[in-house]
A and B are shown apart, each in its own frame.
Chain A
């Protein structure tokens, strides 16, 4: 999981935005629309990043498909220290 976190969050083009997204979700679980608004990003961009984070077991969806709320997984919570280390560099 550590290596996945480092690669997905700091090794890819969308990494910096995914860090912001993960932070926002950890702060308060939200749906894609609310996240797009909070981060001032395009809705489709948010959906793409959410899919990547889900594929990598970092966030999970709760509730119906439309307006589903995203929250962090236990796995990522377990490694939250690493996320914090990475996060320190964003903003």
Chain B
């Protein structure tokens, strides 16, 4: 069964977008730290962290692109996604933001 389409999904798309933007920012900071350290240490451990941050950054940049920039996808996400789906996506993005905040906290040290 399809959930009924809602014209106004409420605050959830906004929360999702803010959260994805925060993820991009946090991953850019983490990636910069790990890139710098990889440049110096050349260890597989730092390389692992760097690759992880690059891939997760790509994922979040892509999400931001289709939520906000691509005319067709952004239009669809803005109008055709039901509130319940937005809530679920928002939860995923926010959980990731919390995870990244903790990672940034221990890494910025």
Contacts and interface: CB of A to CB of B under 8 A. Distances in A.
Contact of B108 (A6, A7, A13, A90): A13
Contact of A89 (B42, B49, B106, B109): B42
16 contacts: A6-B45, A7-B45, A10-B37, A10-B45, A10-B46, A11-B45, A11-B46, A12-B33, A12-B106, A14-B109, A15-B37, A15-B41, A16-B37, A86-B43, A89-B41, A89-B42
Interface string A70-91: 0000000000000000100110
Query: Do most interface residues of chain B lie in helix, strand or loop, or is the interface mixed?
Result: helix
Interface of A: 6-7, 10-16, 52, 86, 89-90
Contact of A52 (B33, B37, B45, B109): B109
Contacts of A14: 109
A7 B108 CA distance: 12
Nearest to B32: A13
Interface residues of B, number: 14
A14 B40 CA distance: 13
Contacts of B86: none
A90 to B, nearest CB: 7
Most buried by A among B107, B108, B109: B109
A32 to B, nearest CB: 18
Contacts of B49: 11
Contacts of A12: 33, 37, 106-109
Contacts of B41: 10, 15, 86, 89-90
Contacts of A13: 33, 107-109
Shortest 10 CB-CB distances between A and B: which pairs?
A6-B45, A89-B41, A10-B41, A10-B46, A12-B109, A13-B33, A12-B107, A10-B37, A10-B43, A13-B108
